[in-house]
């Protein structure tokens, strides 16, 4: 049983399990699925400043903080107990392309040459981790939610803004993966 959990799950198993989260949250608690709003709840709880954006009853959304903590805790447990022992499976054509950028270590979920603490002090590392993180946060706030909130929750509720946001997320992802990332990796 443990070996089955350690193996990568196919999309047709993992996808429906994620998708079932939406009706369970709606039926059991009339809650909507999304992660990005949890940062606002944390700031509202911890920052006593007189900022109108953080003046609301964040305690009503405390369940979301427990949900996010559960994701963190689950990730920590999985990284210790359920780590896949073999090399991460990557398409051979992608491996060949990434090797031209010096990315060859697939022993962890994210290639070590791409993201590591020492690399944070380089231009490429700073650009991908800090500037990229800021842009993701800005985009999430500007779009009114993250990819999970819009693509999973919003589309299941047939919300037009979520369809627009999801199409923009996908277009941005394709642009980043096929145009910007090769440019950044070649620096």
What values do phi and psi take at 84, rounded to 5? Answer: -65, 120
- The pLDDT value recorded for residue 175 is 93
Q: Are 87 and 93 in contact (CB under 8 A)?
A: no
What pLDDT, on the 0 to 100 scale, is given for residue 1? 65
Residue 171 confidence (pLDDT): 94
pLDDT of residue 48: 73
**DSSP codes of every residue in 146-157:** -HIIIIIIIHHT
pLDDT digits (tens, 9 = 90+) for 15-47: 888 888 878 887 887 877 777 778 888 888 888
Q: What is the pLDDT of residues 88-111, one digit of tens each?
A: 778 899 889 888 888 888 877 778
pTM of the model: 0.66
């Amino acid at each position: 049983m443990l070996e089955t959990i350690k193996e990568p799950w196919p999309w047709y198993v993992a996808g429906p399990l994620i998708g079932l989260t939406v009706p369970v949250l709606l039926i059991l608690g009339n809650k909507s699925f999304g992660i990005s709003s949890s940062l606002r709840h944390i700031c509202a709880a911890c920052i006593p400043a007189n900022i109108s954006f953080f003046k609301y009853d964040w305690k009503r959304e405390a369940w979301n903080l427990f949900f996010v903590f559960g994701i963190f805790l689950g990730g920590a447990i999985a990284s210790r107990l359920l780590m896949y022992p073999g090399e991460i499976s990557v398409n051979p054509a992608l491996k060949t392309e990434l090797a031209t950028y010096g990315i060859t270590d697939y022993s962890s979920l994210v290639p070590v040459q791409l993201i590591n603490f020492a690399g944070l002090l380089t231009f490429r590392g700073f650009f991908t981790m800090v500037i990229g993180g800021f842009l993701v946060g800005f985009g999430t706030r500007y779009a009114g939610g993250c990819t999970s909130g819009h693509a999973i929750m919003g589309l299941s509720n047939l919300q037009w803004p979520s369809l627009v946001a999801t199409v923009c997320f996908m277009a941005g992802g394709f642009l980043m993966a096929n145009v910007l990332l090769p440019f950044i990796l070649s620096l």
